[in-house]
Each structure stands twice: as structure tokens, then as C-alpha cells.
Structure 1
Amino acid sequence: MRLIGISALKSTLFPATCILCGAAGVGDRDLCAGCAAELPHNRHACWRCAQPFSTTKPPDTLCRRCQRQPPPFTRTITTFRYQGAVPFLMISAKFEGKLNVARLLGQCLAERVIAAAPPLPEVLIPVPLHPQRLRERGYNQSLEIARVVGRELQISVDYQSCARVLATTPQTELSARARRHNLRGAFALTRPPQWSRVALIDDVMTTATTVSELSRVLALAGVAEIEIWAVARAGK
């Protein structure tokens, strides 16, 4: 008798089910085709920071802010705009312990990166949580997303070289200006970087303050090229 593979057995016992509506998922994704089609993809955005544009522009267009003051990272790739069902998915993955949602978001991000076809980095670095926040939450959603992306793209994930050393006020409670000051000195390297090209993995970019501060620390340590890969981008 032919043995059933583990993945086939899992699919049989636990078939993919859409997180949003409960219908059958597509393949191994907990998302149906209908709900997937309704998600707000961030296809027209600034090449550098992924700020959504209100109209269609050439793929390499930069927003005014990036033209005036380029951020300390090279490029940003995001999957969705922070609209529609996306906030529900993000909150489920970030605060409610639903790692199946984090897995789905990682799959969606990996698909977006494959479609963008950038030169792949040497390593993925999830945005770290402060140890106190990690103990409270029990997991880092950015790391869970990074693990899925790493498996899909066959890229190593390094979650030990960067640390969040200050327990700062949650960014969502602050203005854009206060966010920049809030994160000064929040990140540090635990060892010298062994790579020159990295991608930082985050769940949601709002003002890009968090990834900018972490990118600044990495750039000062000699990392030559830093991309941001995030599931969603908030903005107009």
C-alpha cells in the first residue's frame, strides 16, 4: 500500500478554509478566490517607500517625500493597502495569536515578491520586538511572516543579529513627528553583520519610521543594500 505523504495527509485532514468567509481555500492557502480578489493590492505606489498613489504612475516613480529626503533603505515591496479586510487580518495575526493568519500573510507577501522579481537578498531580518513585548504577546508576528517567506523563497531568516533594546511607547499611539523621536536608539546589533544585502520583514508600514531606524542602524554597520518587504502599507 502506498504511503500518503505528510502534506497530502494534512490537506486531507485539515483542508484549506478561507479565514474571511469560511469557504474552501485555494491550494494550501486559507483564502478563497473570491476574497482574494477583493483584497486591496498596493500595485500603484512609490518605488522607494511604497506610499500608495491615488493614480497610476510609472513603476519607478518616487513620492515627493522620497524625492526630497530619501529614506535609508533602497526599495520597498508591499502586498496590500491597509484597507478593507486587511486590518482584520493584521489584528488577528498581531494580537490574537492566530498564526494561521500570519502564515497566510507570509504566503501573500512571498507571492508579491516573486511577482516583483527583485534580486534576492542574502538574508531576511524580521523587525524585532522588545523582550518585554515578546513575553506579553508570546510571539513576533514579523518573525512568523518571515519564516513563511523564507521557506517560499529559500532565503535564510536571521532573528538574532538585531535587537530592540528600548521598550518604547507603541507607535500607533503617537504622531508622525513623535514616532521619529520615539525610536531613536531603539535598535542595536548583537553582532557584526555577515551580509551586505538584506530585506527587513514587517507586517504593516505606516510612516516607515520603524524600518527607517532599523535600516539606519544596519547601514551604519556596513550593510550596503536594504530592502523593506511588508505585507501592508497604510496611507492615502
Structure 2
Amino acid sequence: MKCLKTILLDTVFPPRCAVCGEILRMEERQGVLCADCRSDIPYLPQEKCPHCGGKTNNGGFCDFCMKHFPFDSVCGAFPYEKVRKAIHLFKYDGDKTIGEGLGRLMAEELLENHKELLEKADVLVSVPLHPKKEKFRGFNQTHILCEKIAEKTGLTFQRHGLERKRETIAQSELDPEERKVNLKDAFAATADFTGKCVLLVDDIFTTGTTCRECAKELYRAGAREVMVFVLSVAGAE
């Protein structure tokens, strides 16, 4: 039985589908997806590189795209356009329930299609926000994703493995070259990752600049391998 407070909250702020962002019907509210999305969860296709659309055999980026990045592998759960509305409700409208649902879906994707990442990973690390931005938003969205991934997979979440040293302009407001300059030396590792294989988690992969800069710091802190897993990829579908 739901308590009165929960019922009132559901009435004023009805839960939404973690994929499409539509309000869930009463009979759907035990889960995080609407009936349409649950019947056909739009995960990224395993045979296509989510960055360029080229052929790949592992559900991650193809060898050609990986040449541009310092990390060892990268894959995502959804095409960005499929979850754009849900990400907006999560990050900017503060709907943490949607974020928790998306985190659980990411964990399911790992368990079903990327078991090799789980077998190799020693620790889970999230891309950090600057403290001022996190205070303004009230949470770090990647922390919530990581918490749910850790909960379902058993991976250890190193919550404070990275820090953002300075405030930066939102990457979405910049072109690719400006993004590189904007994030240069913006991150620092705050833990010892010597010999560890790190699974780095972010919400959106566009040019890869954020993950690139975070990976550099993880390697400087001794990481043996850095693998990237993102909620969504803004690339070829």
C-alpha cells in the first residue's frame, strides 16, 4: 500500500516513463516504462557503431572512431534522441525518479549485452559536476545513474574518484574546438587508481571531450584501463 504522502506526490507530480518521458498510466506505475517503451526498449543496436553508424561486433564504437579517443572502449545504452525528453526532465526539472529508472535500464543493458565490461571493471566512476553547479541543481545526475548501476550489478561506486576543479561553460553551447579548450585541465583524480580498470559513466556522449579529459586524469592516477559507458550517444542511429 502506498502511503498518503506518496499518493499525493504522484497526483501532483505524476511519474513519467524513463525513456519517452510520457506520464505513466496508473497500471504502469509499478515500473519505470510506459507500455509502448516496455514492449520495445530502444537500446542502441549492437551491430552498429553509435558514433558513426559503421559496422561493429561488440555494441561499442568501431575501431575507426576509437582512434580519436584515449580510453580503451566506449559504448552507450540509447540514442540521444530516444531519451532526450527524459534526460531533460531528469537534469533540468529535477525528476530523480526518471534518473533512477534510466540508471536501472543502463544496468540491464550492461548485464544483457556488455558482460565483458562488468567482468573487467574494478570500480565505477562518474563524471563530476562543479560543486556550485551541483548545489544549484541539487544533485549530480551521473551519481544517480551510477548508484543504480552499482545496486543492480554489484560494482563498487567510487563516488569521489574525480573532481571538477573549475567552473566551465556548458559544453552544449560550444563548438567542437571550443569544447576542448573549455575542459582542458578542468578535472582531477582524487583517488589512487593504480592497476585498476575503471568504468567511467556519463549521461550524454557528443564529441567525447568530457570523457577524454576525465580519462586522462584517471590514467595519470594509475588506471590500467578506462572504459566508458554512457546513457546516450548523440551520433548516427
Residue among 78, 87, 95 paired with 2:76: 78
Read off the aligned partner of 1:79 and give its amino acid letter: A
Q: Deviations over 1:42-77 (max 9, x none)?
A: 11443xxx4151x6553377253434x3x1211122
**3-state SS in 2 of match to 1:89:** helix
Conserved 8 A contact 1:123-1:158: yes
Q: Which residue of structure 2 lines up, in the alignment, with residue 58 of structure 1?
A: 57
Q: How many residues align structurally?
A: 219
Q: Which residue of structure 2 lines up, in the alignment, with residue 3 of structure 1?
A: none
Residue among 23, 33, 37 paired with 1:31: 33
Read off the aligned partner of 1:109 and give its amino acid letter: M
Conserved 8 A contact 2:52-2:65: no
Q: Which residue of structure 1 lines up, in the alignment, with residue 172 of structure 2?
A: 172
TM-score, normalised to structure 2's length?
0.83
- Percent identity, aligned pairs only, is 26
CA distance in 2, matches of 1:158, 1:139: 16
Q: Which residue of structure 2 lines up, in the alignment, with residue 140 of structure 1?
A: 140
The alpha carbon displacement at 1:176 in A equals 0.9
The alpha carbon displacement at 1:41 in A equals 2.1
The alpha carbon displacement at 1:119 in A equals 4.0
Residue among 102, 107, 122 paired with 1:105: 102
Distance 1:178 1:224, change over 3 A: same
Which residues of 2 match residues 1-236 of structure 1 at below 5 A? 19=17, 20-23=22-25, 24-25=27-28, 28-37=30-39, 39-43=41-45, 44-46=47-49, 50-53=50-53, 57-59=56-58, 62=62, 64-67=64-67, 69=68, 71-84=69-82, 86-115=83-112, 116-120=114-118, 121-193=121-193, 196-236=196-236
Conserved 8 A contact 1:17-1:31: no
Could you list the structure 1 runs, at least 4 aligned residues long, displaced by more than 3 angstroms after superposition.
Answer: 13-18, 36-40, 55-61
CA distance in 2, matches of 1:10, 1:223: 45
The alpha carbon displacement at 1:225 in A equals 1.0
| Unaligned stretches of 5+ residues in structure 1 | 1-8
Conserved 8 A contact 1:89-1:101: yes
**3-state SS in 1 of match to 2:81:** coil
The alpha carbon displacement at 1:202 in A equals 0.9
| Unaligned stretches of 5+ residues in structure 2 | none
**3-state SS in 1 of match to 2:167:** coil
TM-score, normalised to structure 1's length?
0.83
CA distance in 1, matches of 2:75, 2:66: 15
The alpha carbon displacement at 1:32 in A equals 2.7
Read off the aligned partner of 2:31 and give its amino acid letter: R
Distance 1:37 1:235, change over 3 A: farther
**3-state SS in 2 of match to 1:218:** helix
Conserved 8 A contact 1:51-1:63: no
